[in-house]
Structure 1
Amino acid sequence: MFGLFKRKMAPEGPFEFTDEIRIERPMADVYRLLDWSDPLNAQKAQGHKLTPGDGAGQWRLVVTGLENHEYLIALAASEMPVRYVYDCNVVPMIGRLVRTREAYSLAPLDGGACMAKLALTAQLVPGLTARRFAHEEKLLSAACYNAVARLKIHAENGAGAARDAEMDETNSFRIRL
């Protein structure tokens, strides 16, 4: 009886979200958009500020519109042109997200296209209620989808189209393709 009104707590993480999308470009072209060290990196091409970090395989990203936050990126693994994995911490922290690991894999398809898959592993602050976790889960699911959708738009239509891709609450904050 005493536990009847007790708040339900979320499970402990980390939590994984995945999404994939067909991109009508060769794997090598898409890989270059992911590679933080490549001059054609998508974030840099879309106008965000990307600078080298404190060591090899590290970068700092400041996203336009979020200038008070710095994304600290560390390369975890890469295999040109099939896999690109990195860890990301945002300083100061945004919401309840502590850190992520973003693992992209690319597979060839007919006609020079490729399949891009993202496995996003997120670590959230401990002690979340089930309600707060459900909100974070919705946001992270949308972020995972938006990452591959924006990658597709950039690869097929250029940096400007990716930068201008619209998302709003009428579509659960998902980019419209």
Structure 2
Amino acid sequence: MFEWFKRGVAPEGPVAIERAATIGCPAEELYALLDWADPRNAKRALGNLVEADPLDPDHFVAVIHQMPDLRFDLVVTHAEPHRRYAFDCVIDPLQGRLLTSHEDYRIEPRGEDACTLTLLLTAHLRPGLPTRIYEQEFTMLSMAHDNAVAKLKLHAEHGVEAVREMERQQFG
């Protein structure tokens, strides 16, 4: 009898988005851009704050220039050098309807100077969202996901200054 109340409510469970890109650099160089502990990490190279937890080598905190009031709490869940890097992320304070996310980067070497990067993003949104809001969140997550892959490709192939220029165009 009350089934019609449930129409328009988004499905329960996490949102998963996967993208792949061929990147013109060795797997070792791409991995360094992902690894929060590496001084060559892409966010560090852009001048963003990335701090390691002195009590937990798998825990990092990042503060990004464009969002200085937010703290990204990062916990590495998988680190296989030059092959796979994954971490959980919680943003403090919580933003919008995103509760947590998990980013899983897989790297497949393609000869000496190229590799394929596959990024699987799994996001947990607040439960019970109306379908329209869920679709908006999915769209924003998809755009952020595509942007992350594009920036890594740009950084790996053309350097940090190319990413800075891209961010200047994005954020003014």
When normalised by structure 1's length, the TM-score is 0.88
Return 5+ residue gaps in structure 2 as ranges.
Answer: none
Distance 1:6 1:167 in 2: 43
Aligned match of 1:171 = none
Aligned partners of 1:167, 1:130: CA distance in 2, in Å? Answer: 34
From the superposition, tell whether residues 79 and 3 of structure 1 become closer, same or farther in structure 2 (CA, over 3 Å).
Answer: closer
The question of 1:33 aligning with 2:33 is answered yes
Which residue number corresponds to residue 172 of structure 1? none
Correspondence 1:82 to 2:83: yes
C-alpha separation between the residues in 1 aligned to 2:56 and 2:101?
19
Question: Taking structure 1 as reference, are residues 133 and 88 closer, same or farther at Cα in structure 2, changes over 3 Å only?
Answer: same
CA distance in 1 between counterparts of 2:79 and 2:99 reads: 23
Deviation at 1:163, TM superposition (A): 2.6
Q: Secondary structure at the match of 1:81?
A: coil
Match of 1:11 in 2: 11
The letter for the 2-side match of 1:23 is: I
Residue 113 and residue 126 in structure 1: after superposition, are their counterparts in 2 closer, same or farther (change >3 A)?
Answer: same
- 1:73: which partner in 2? 74
Report the counterpart of residue 123 of structure 2 in structure 1.
122
Q: Root-mean-square deviation (CA), in Å?
A: 2.0
- Using structure 2 for the length normalisation, give the TM-score: 0.91
Cα shift at 1:162: 1.3
Give the 3 Å change call, closer, same or farther, for CA 28–91 of structure 1 in structure 2. same
Alignment partner, residue 50 of structure 1: 50
The separation in 2 between residues aligned to 1:42 and 1:126, in whole angstroms, is: 33
Work out the number of aligned pairs and report it: 169
Shift of 1:44: 0.6
* Cα offsets for 1:147-170 (capped at 9, x unmatched): 1110000011111211321598xx
Q: Name the CA distance, whole Å, in 1 between partners of 2:149 and 2:114.
A: 14
Q: Could you tell me the percent identity over the aligned residues?
A: 38
Counterparts of 1:97-176 in structure 2, within 5 Å, are: 97-110=98-111, 112-165=113-166
Amino acid at match of 1:38: D
CA distance in 2, matches of 1:76, 1:43: 19
Distance across 2 between alignment mates of 1:13 and 1:2: 22
